[in-house]
Amino acid sequence: MTSKILKTVHEAAKGLTDAGIMDKQTMREFDALCLPPVKPFTKDQIKAIREREKASQAVFASYLNITPSTIQSWEQGEKKPSGPALKLLNMVDKKGLACLAND
């Protein structure tokens, strides 16, 4: 429900920008506010995502452009993903590894 409302409001704001009523800076700020939140994952959730995608730690790491030891550290709870890696994990969780594959 919330995403439908947000999408409608975003489209209206884009229309206002296209019509010259809202400036581009305001639209950029609005765009940033409309980004979906990046959720954190537990070590078990990370492992479940990888296993759901039927990928070894090495293959999963390759898709995320990180080292296999980083995946191992996440899955053992020694480290937590952050920044771009966490965003990529969110994408893989929602859309699968195929969203990161080069065409």
Average pLDDT, the chain: 90
Q: Which amino acid is at 98?
A: A
Mean pLDDT, residues 73-86: 96
CB 37 within 8 Å of CB 87: no
Q: Kindly tell me if the per-residue pLDDT of 74 is higher than 90.
A: yes
The boundaries of the domain holding residue 6 are 2-33
Mean pLDDT, residues 60-67: 96
Mean pLDDT, residues 30-54: 92
Domain count within the chain: 2
In whole angstroms, give the CA distance from residue 5 to residue 64: 32
Mean pLDDT, residues 39-49: 97
9 and 49 both lie in a single domain: no
CB 13 within 8 Å of CB 30: yes
47 and 93 both lie in a single domain: yes
Confidence at residue 1, expressed as pLDDT on a 0 to 100 scale: 44
pTM over 0.85: no
64 and 87 both lie in a single domain: yes
Please report which confidence band the pLDDT of residue 16 belongs to, taking 50, 70 and 90 as the band edges: confident
**38: in domain:** no
In whole angstroms, give the CA distance from residue 36 to residue 57: 27
In whole angstroms, give the CA distance from residue 90 to residue 49: 10
67 and 28 both lie in a single domain: no
Percentage above 90 pLDDT, the chain: 60
28 and 47 both lie in a single domain: no
